[in-house]
A = this chain, B = another copy of it.
């Protein structure tokens, strides 16, 4: 790697002219390819046209606000989103992350800081690339949304598939039941339920060679589950 590394392109959606221009300049200087939009609508249009690798999105936008933009993007795309939030609008870091953003940066923001976050998110994203992932004899095709084992198609139910996808986006990382509930079921539980366990069990039945002694989806006692990378 090295010589012909593609420069990732990013889309900056920010309505304030001064900030937008400043950030565009700064980010360009840091070596990014930057497209800009001044409204959510324009942003969504540019997204479709340009297919950037990452979006930097202001929360406070005229018309449809950042969160809504975020949600709409997430309906069709997985690309990383970094939210820009103003100090004074408060609650919304959480709302932001829950509406699907990958990171957030608090304004006023310096180009260098934003650049660092962008690189971090992109780096993270590389690992969880949108194409295909293999775990032993298991192949997850994120584009086709299919899972095959030894080349044979597995019939996963929607929930099973989502669970597997979430796990596979963080291979080798232990996820608590709480986290899985949030990621897969999108609701905050407090208290206990066997829900995650049950789904994991069903998934294992289809995915593992010997479901009773799983080698892919490992139990992390006291924590939750983890999808092990091969070997």
Minimum CB–CB distance from A126 to chain B (whole Å) comes to 11
Contacts of A177 in B (CB 8 A): 2, 4
Counting chain A residues whose Cβ lies within 8 A of the other chain, the interface size class is 35 or more
A97 close to B123 (CB less than 8 A): yes
- A136 at the binding interface (Cβ < 8 Å): no
- Taking the closest CB of chain B, its distance from the CB of A159, in whole angstroms, is 7
B91 touches A113 (CB 8 A): yes
- Is the CB–CB distance between A172 and B190 below 8 Å? no
Asked whether A192 is an interface residue with its Cβ less than 8 Å from the other chain, the reply is: yes
A178 touching B4 in the complex, CB below 8 Å, given contacts A91-B113, A120-B104: yes
A190 and B113 contact, Cβ closer than 8 Å, known pairs A94-B119, A145-B174: no
Within 8 A of B (CB), among A82-102: 87-88, 90-95, 97
Return A231 CB to nearest CB of chain B, in Å. 12
- A130 to chain B: closest residue by CB: B173
B4 A222 Cβ-Cβ under 8 A: yes
Q: Apart from A90-B113, A93-B119, A95-B116, list 7 A-B contacts with CB within 8 A.
A: A2-B191, A4-B177, A88-B106, A90-B105, A93-B117, A141-B172, A145-B226
